[in-house]
Every structure is written in structure tokens, then in C-alpha cells.
């Protein structure tokens, strides 16, 4: 019991520093993971740049570790309150409104579903040939495409997801308002993706 209390005391002491580091570390590591996302499919079909793939894995591990540590800190009685707490809750994916969770699921599921719509031949080819299908440049291109779609969708959608989270914390007069804004978030994400692609060209 004494050890447990000691660990709690140590965590309570370190919590402000962990929270501050998470405030910048989670978005920073997440951005690196997003930029290097194509290294994962390229590793699967054997054409990744190993140092970049290692950086991708390291950034993902960093995000997971920081999120878990931040969640532990936010569970303490001494956790911060107010606006700072709302921001940290978003980064820790803690105490999210159900509408925010639903919007996140949509951002994860809808982009690849849209991208592979009408391209089921890729799935059929992989089922028929197994790993040999990975030698096809068309299959490789589609795998890279899924990663790029995630890059664009999350780049455009996460800021809107944060805005929806903050709105839900401010307890709007109409409880259904966050739910009504979920479709708006998807439309805004689509517009953001178009603008990002336009700026890239």
C-alpha cells in the first residue's frame, strides 16, 4: 500500500510536467506519424526507407505512451480545471462527448471506404494471389493511396474534431447541437481536403 501511495505521490509531482510535455508532444509526434504514414504500406510491400519507417513507428509509440501517461495524470485529484483541462482531455481522448467519438470513427472509416469504392478488384486480387499481389505496382499504388487519404482526412478533420470537442464542453443550450454538427464536420473535412490538395498543386 505504501508503494502505491508513493507512486501516486511521484506521479502527482510529475503530473504538471507530463501535462505540459503532452500538450506539445502528442500533436508533434502525431504530425510526424501522419507525414510518414506512407512508410507503413511501403514496408508491407518491401519498399520503405528503413530510417523513415523507424521514425514512423517511434512517433506512434510516443503518441501512445504520452496519451497513457496523460490519462493517468488527468485521473488525479490535482488535475487541472477549465480550458486547459478541456484541451488536455482532447489530447488524452478522455471524457469525450459521444458525438466526438462518433465523428472520430467516421474520420477513420469513411476516407478509406470512399477511396476503395469501386476498386474491389484490389481486394479480389489480394485474396487470389496472397502476398504475390503486393508485387503489382497497381496494388502498391492503391496501398499508398489509402495512407495519403488518411493524411489528408486527418489533417483537415482533426482541427474540426477539436472544435466539436470544445463546443461540447461549453455545454450549448441545445444538447443535440454537437450531434447536428457531426455532418457539418464531415463536409468541412471534405472541403479542407480539397483546399489542401489545391495548395499542394
Query: Is the domain of 106 the same as that of 89?
Result: no
Alpha carbons within 13 A on the beta-carbon side of 180: 5
Query: Is the domain of 79 the same as that of 173?
Result: no
Residue after which a domain boundary falls, among 67, 95, 123: 95
Mean pLDDT over 121-143 rounds to 77
Query: Is the domain of 102 the same as that of 90?
Result: no
Q: What confidence score (pLDDT) does residue 133 get?
A: 75
Q: What confidence score (pLDDT) does residue 33 get?
A: 96
Q: What are the tens digits of pLDDT across the range 72-101?
A: 999 998 899 999 999 999 999 999 999 999
pTM: 0.88
Average pLDDT of the residues of the chain? 89
Query: Is the domain of 40 the same as that of 124?
Result: no
Domain count within the chain: 2
Query: Is the domain of 132 the same as that of 75?
Result: no
Length reported for the chain: 201
| SS3 category, 1 | coil
Query: Is the domain of 138 the same as that of 198?
Result: yes
pLDDT of residue 166 exceeding 60, the answer is yes
Neighbouring C-beta atoms of residue 32, cutoff 10 Å: 17
Distance CA 187, CA 175 (A): 21
Q: What confidence score (pLDDT) does residue 1 get?
A: 38
Q: What confidence score (pLDDT) does residue 11 get?
A: 80
| SS3 category, 109 | helix
Q: What confidence score (pLDDT) does residue 2 get?
A: 42
Place of cell 508485387: 135
Q: Choose between 144 and 116: higher pLDDT.
A: 144
Distance CA 161, CA 57 (A): 24
Residue after which a domain boundary falls, among 66, 95, 124: 95
Q: What confidence score (pLDDT) does residue 3 get?
A: 43
Domain that holds residue 60: 1-95
Q: What are the tens digits of pLDDT across the range 11-50?
A: 888 999 999 999 999 999 999 999 999 999 999 889 999 9
Q: What confidence score (pLDDT) does residue 159 get?
A: 96
Q: Choose between 192 and 11: higher pLDDT.
A: 192
DSSP label at 76? S
Amino acid at each position: 500500500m505504501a508503494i502505491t501511495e508513493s507512486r501516486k505521490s511521484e506521479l502527482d509531482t510529475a503530473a504538471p510536467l507530463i501535462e505540459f510535455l503532452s500538450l506539445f508532444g502528442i500533436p508533434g509526434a502525431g504530425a510526424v506519424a501522419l507525414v510518414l504514414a506512407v512508410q507503413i504500406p511501403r514496408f508491407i510491400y518491401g519498399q520503405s526507407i528503413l530510417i523513415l519507417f523507424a521514425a514512423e513507428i517511434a512517433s506512434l509509440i510516443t503518441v501512445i505512451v504520452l496519451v497513457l501517461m496523460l490519462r493517468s495524470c488527468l485521473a488525479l485529484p490535482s488535475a487541472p480545471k477549465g480550458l486547459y483541462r478541456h484541451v488536455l482531455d482532447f489530447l488524452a481522448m478522455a471524457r469525450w462527448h459521444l458525438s466526438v467519438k462518433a465523428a472520430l470513427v467516421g474520420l477513420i472509416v469513411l476516407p478509406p471506404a470512399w477511396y476503395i469504392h469501386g476498386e474491389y478488384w484490389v481486394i479480389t486480387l489480394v485474396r487470389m494471389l496472397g502476398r504475390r499481389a503486393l508485387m503489382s505496382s497497381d496494388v502498391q499504388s492503391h496501398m499508398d493511396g489509402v495512407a495519403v487519404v488518411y493524411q489528408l482526412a486527418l489533417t483537415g478533420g482533426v482541427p474540426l474534431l477539436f472544435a466539436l470537442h470544445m463546443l461540447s464542453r461549453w455545454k450549448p443550450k441545445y444538447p443535440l447541437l454537437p450531434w447536428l454538427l457531426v455532418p457539418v464536420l464531415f463536409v468541412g473535412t471534405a472541403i479542407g481536403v480539397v483546399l489542401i490538395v489545391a495548395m499542394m498543386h
